[in-house]
Structure 1
Amino acid sequence: MAAPALVALAHGSRDPRSAATIRALVDEVRAVRPDLKVEPAFLELSRPGFQTVVDRLVKAGHDEIVVVPLLLTEAHHATVDVPAAVAQATERHPEVRIQATDVLGLEACFLQVLDERLREALREARVRELDALVLAAAGSSDPLANQAVARLARVWGSHHKLPVTAAYASAAPPATGEAVRAFRAEGRRHIAVASLFLAPGFLPDRAAELALEAGAVAVSAPLGAHPEVARVVLARYAVGAVELVPV
């Protein structure tokens, strides 16, 4: 029996770099599991749309699909948009079993990716000294999602033995510029910002712009198509595939 197809479901963006990054991440997943049918899909703004991808998979003969939401927090997209999209697809294809997994979330291994991306940014900026860090994320109207980012920031700061502030690009304070200025008001001058975003787009760009204007010495690229991220995608898929097995 063939393994369920894997749909890596991202939100989507008007910025073409975002979709390109998601496709590159899917390529990383395929490299690890060439035996699986793995397809990227988007909730909105980018193509192909989720319903289109499901239609293609059904036409190709797949009757089991595991959907892995490429989201870092359990916010509105995870709790409302993804379940609605899956419900619509299930209604359109009642003969197909479609299982959505947990979101990627904020895995501890992502701190390794943050460190790698930040080291790249520091080398490019020729920065060798740091006295504070800012962890920049999208931000949410859901305080629990923001609290999850703040917890990860504390873990990251403890690892590096540096003060760390979580900052948000939308929906919640502080913004990255405010976080950088607060550290500078304490007398710190070597402040770097790590981008806790999966892919490039308007929010990461805005967070970086505000941070640099406020005096940050470097801002990292988003997590991107990294093997660690691909491994988490496959870990979520494995759980979803098991849940499709009849009891």
Structure 2
Amino acid sequence: MSSQLSAATLLLIAHGSRDPRHAATVEALVGRIRALRPALDVATAYLEFCAPRLPQVTERLGGAPAVAVPLLLNRAYHAKTDIPAALRASGADLPLADVLGPSPLLLAALERRLAEAGLDVDSDAVRARTGIVLAAAGSSDPAAGRVTRALAAEWRRARGWAGVEVAYAATAATGHRVPGAVASLRGAGAERVAVAPYLLAPGLLPDRIAAAADDDADLVAGVLGDAPEIARLLLHRYDEARLGARGAVGQGLRRGA
């Protein structure tokens, strides 16, 4: 990693929440990023509820090179609309990195949380008998739902789970809720069912998922949070966007732009 490539600040943009656990999780994740790449400047901004907000942070950067990295799993409304609009409103013309999903690192983080909750994810026999509910927030954007379902299918194929069913916590999303997904997996022959929240921080939706799973599932994992794989993935998205922005400038220069 060249010093030139690492010169731009990683501007992590999180949604924000009234739940203080959200900001605490984001800060823990930032700590992991800094530990992985100590020379990299990392700043955090929130869209709502928490401070600092995006205009405050971009003003503090003062036009210095930065890459905006959304702390989002899917390309839904926040990624397609909210964050670009917030960047424009703050007057910041920054490269915008891709969202986290899909990625094998997300599957690794999900399995880390399942293992921490007591599931032997390294046992082929255990996986073959266990169904997984991939419990996502949900979105009214059909493309986001397709990506989540594709991730679930890949997880089952790659790791040999008895089944992986997607369930949603948000009422706006169409599809299974957690109890329905658990019932579907048991009906398909899963001897044990574990719920893996496909969410980045504690809050209302993870609490709703845990409550819904309490009477039906055998095990409920924690949110992805500050898993090391998430920190590595954020850095990967930062590097992709930084290299892409530098390449675009170079192409423009070669065209005489």
TM-score (norm 1): 0.88
The corresponding residue for 2:122 is: none
Runs of 5+ in structure 1 lacking a partner? none
- In structure 2, distance between residues paired with 1:176 and 1:46: 29
Check conservation: 1:110, 1:229, Cα contact below 8 A: yes
Summarize the alignment of residues 60-139 of structure 1 with structure 2, pairs less than 5 Å apart: 62-90=63-91, 97-122=93-118, 130-139=129-138
1:109 Cα deviation from its structure 2 partner: 1.6
1:149 Cα deviation from its structure 2 partner: 0.9
Match of 1:24 among 24, 28, 35: 28
Across the two proteins, how many residue pairs are aligned to each other?
235
Q: Quick one: which amino acid aligns to residue 104 of structure 1?
A: L
1:186 Cα deviation from its structure 2 partner: 5.1
Match of 2:41 among 19, 37, 40: 37
1:188 Cα deviation from its structure 2 partner: 4.5
The corresponding residue for 2:227 is: 226
Match of 1:205 among 193, 204, 207: 207
- In structure 2, distance between residues paired with 1:120 and 1:236: 26
- Alignment RMSD, CA only? 2.1
Structure 2 counterpart SS, 1:174 = coil
Pair 164,242 (structure 1): closer, same or farther in 2 beyond 3 Å? closer
Q: Quick one: which amino acid aligns to residue 107 of structure 1?
A: S
1:141 Cα deviation from its structure 2 partner: 0.3
1:183 Cα deviation from its structure 2 partner: 3.1
Structure 1 counterpart SS, 2:39 = coil
**Higher alpha-carbon deviation: 16-25 or 100-109:** 100-109
Check conservation: 2:132, 2:161, Cα contact below 8 A: no
1:147 Cα deviation from its structure 2 partner: 1.2
1:189 Cα deviation from its structure 2 partner: 5.0
Pair 191,57 (structure 1): closer, same or farther in 2 beyond 3 Å? same
Structure 2 counterpart SS, 1:39 = strand
1:131 Cα deviation from its structure 2 partner: 3.2
Structure 2 counterpart SS, 1:122 = coil
- In structure 1, distance between residues paired with 2:130 and 2:228: 29
Q: Quick one: which amino acid aligns to residue 195 of structure 2?
A: V
Structure 2 residue 50 is the aligned partner of structure 1 residue 50: no
Check conservation: 1:176, 1:208, Cα contact below 8 A: no
- In structure 1, distance between residues paired with 2:139 and 2:230: 22
The corresponding residue for 1:163 is: 163
1:122 Cα deviation from its structure 2 partner: 2.3
Structure 1 counterpart SS, 2:66 = strand
- In structure 2, distance between residues paired with 1:244 and 1:234: 15
- In structure 2, distance between residues paired with 1:118 and 1:78: 27
- In structure 2, distance between residues paired with 1:31 and 1:135: 29
Check conservation: 2:17, 2:23, Cα contact below 8 A: yes
- In structure 1, distance between residues paired with 2:202 and 2:225: 8
Structure 2 counterpart SS, 1:100 = coil
Check conservation: 1:99, 1:240, Cα contact below 8 A: yes
Structure 2 residue 201 is the aligned partner of structure 1 residue 235: no
Q: Quick one: which amino acid aligns to residue 165 of structure 1?
A: E
Runs of 5+ in structure 2 lacking a partner? 120-124, 251-257
TM-score (norm 2): 0.85
Summarize the alignment of residues 138-177 of structure 1 with structure 2, pairs less than 5 Å apart: 138-158=137-157, 159-170=159-170, 171-177=173-179
Q: Quick one: which amino acid aligns to residue 164 of structure 1?
A: V
